[in-house]
Structure 1
Amino acid sequence: MKIGTKLQLEALDPKTMKNEKYHCKVIDKNKSYLFIDLPIHQRTKRSSFLPLNTKITVTFLDQEKIAHQFESKIVKKGKYRIPTLAILLPAKEQIKKIQRRNFVRIETAVDVAVHSLQNAFSPFTTVTSDISGGGVSIILPQDVSLQQGEKLEATIVLPMHSGENVYITANGEVVNIKEANRRIQLAAVKFIHLDSHDQQKIIQFCFEKQREARQKELM
């Protein structure tokens, strides 16, 4: 893990007894610790000084954009020019890879704006057919033609359960073009560059939608 790597932290709030999410980045490291800047609360966007001995779940993307996760805890304050915290650095075997096939994929229509990274097509707006933490399928407008292997940037609008609209920007690669029916084509896009914080927002959105669907089935 390199200095500058962005992390997502998840910790139990003892007051609410709910898991809260934060994001931060690695500013230094040694054989025993990772030193991070003050975590930013995902919902409030405020800096948070997590108490010592707070147990945390840490998620990050490696250089190949593969998600990894490990358990750790806040052990001390760092001595730097900016406020920092030190977390225990786990052994390599304690860092687990999160396989893309384990991402929850849900069928849902959310707004997305698409731009070419190679100036191969004009920007366009459309909606998704499905989405997961590893990629997205988008409905192609009738006047748009994409090719397999094409690189693009997608800005996705996620309407969260809280009522907040979260904007996610990711670079992706078209891996497949298929026909949903005679009039609609779908482009399957895998994410090739996605901030770990944004990826966790997508995963959270997918779980929320999955939970809503289950609740409707029980009604």
Structure 2
Amino acid sequence: MLEIGSVMTLEPLDQPGDMYRCKLVSMDEATISIDYPVSETTGKTGFLVNGTLLSCLVVGSDQNPYRFETAVMGRRKENIPVILLKLPQKNDILKIQRRQYVRIDTDVNVAVHSPDGVFPAFVSVTSDLSAGGAAIIIPEDIEIEERQPLTVWLSLPLQDGTISYVKMDSESIRVYEESGVKKATIQFLNMNDLSLQNIIRFCFDQQILTRKKEAAAE
């Protein structure tokens, strides 16, 4: 399930929204060793004190994303200095199935190319997005067929004001019209760990923001 070298995203439970990126260096019967995490906001090495509770997102060896909670257990010197995290029990690791991906209504900027040169590249926006795929608005002068290979770039605005650019191989699943607007649903293919984590995080963050706005309006 967990694999040496996997990229992990850590979020302290007492500081939601603070994200750190690290790699899984080694494992034993009780702990996970990670390299020193880097803050996605500042780009600097983060300092996690012993006992810090963390939520972890990682893509497993089966290419499925997993989420679990852990805690900082200490430090030691391996080939490099590492931080020790508590190894979760198998039943404490939540597998995020593709059908469970959070789908949100959002107008993220997207650039779409045809690797076969079937249609000219165009820039548009999504109407919804999940880690498994998206619905995108298609310009009237562009013709896309179902089951057509695509190369897609997403521009994801993060809460810290930065933008994460994600490139993915994709495939058109369905082309349809809704309220006079031509759209295509697309499926993401062969996603790397980092791209998958970035989209899942963006969708979860947007869902949280929506809930906060709804609560404030009540």
Residue 136 of structure 1: aligned partner? 134
Report the Cα distance in structure 1 between the residues aligned to 2:179 and 2:17, rounded to whole angstroms: 42
CA-atom RMSD in angstroms: 2.7
Residue 201 of structure 2: aligned partner? 201
**Percent identity among equivalent residues?**
29
| Structure 1 pair 56–179 and aligned structure 2 pair: CA distance change class (3 A) | same
Superimposed CA distance per residue, residues 120-161 of structure 1 (whole angstroms, 9 cap, x where no aligned partner)? 544321111111233211111223233333333322223345
Superimposed CA distance per residue, residues 53-92 of structure 1 (whole angstroms, 9 cap, x where no aligned partner)? 2211111123443221112112122322333212122222
Report the Cα distance in structure 2 between the residues aligned to 1:117 and 1:24, rounded to whole angstroms: 33
Equivalent residues in 2 for 1:103-142, closer than 5 Å: 103-117=101-115, 120-142=118-140
Report the secondary structure of 1:214's partner residue.
Answer: helix
- Structure 1 contact 103–134 (Cα < 8 Å) conserved: yes
Unaligned runs of 5+ in 2: none
| Structure 1 pair 49–33 and aligned structure 2 pair: CA distance change class (3 A) | same
Unaligned runs of 5+ in 1: none
Report the Cα distance in structure 1 between the residues aligned to 2:55 and 2:9, rounded to whole angstroms: 8
Superimposed CA distance per residue, residues 16-54 of structure 1 (whole angstroms, 9 cap, x where no aligned partner)? x54522121112223332221111112222211311222
Query: Could you tell me which amino acid in structure 2 is paired with residue 71 of structure 1?
Result: E
| Structure 1 pair 111–60 and aligned structure 2 pair: CA distance change class (3 A) | same
| Structure 1 pair 137–101 and aligned structure 2 pair: CA distance change class (3 A) | same
Residue 183 of structure 2: aligned partner? 186
Query: Could you tell me which amino acid in structure 2 is paired with residue 210 of structure 1?
Result: T
Report the secondary structure of 2:19's partner residue.
Answer: strand
Residue 210 of structure 1: aligned partner? 210
Q: Could you state the TM-score of these two structures normalised by the residue count of structure 1?
A: 0.81
- Count of residue correspondences: 214
Superimposed CA distance per residue, residues 87-126 of structure 1 (whole angstroms, 9 cap, x where no aligned partner)? 1222222211123344332222221112345555443211
Match of residue 88, structure 2, among 87, 90, 96: 90
Q: Could you state the TM-score of these two structures normalised by the residue count of structure 2?
A: 0.82
- Structure 1 contact 105–206 (Cα < 8 Å) conserved: no
Query: Could you tell me which amino acid in structure 2 is paired with residue 191 of structure 1?
Result: F
The structural deviation recorded for 1:203 is 1.8
Query: Could you tell me which amino acid in structure 2 is paired with residue 110 of structure 1?
Result: V
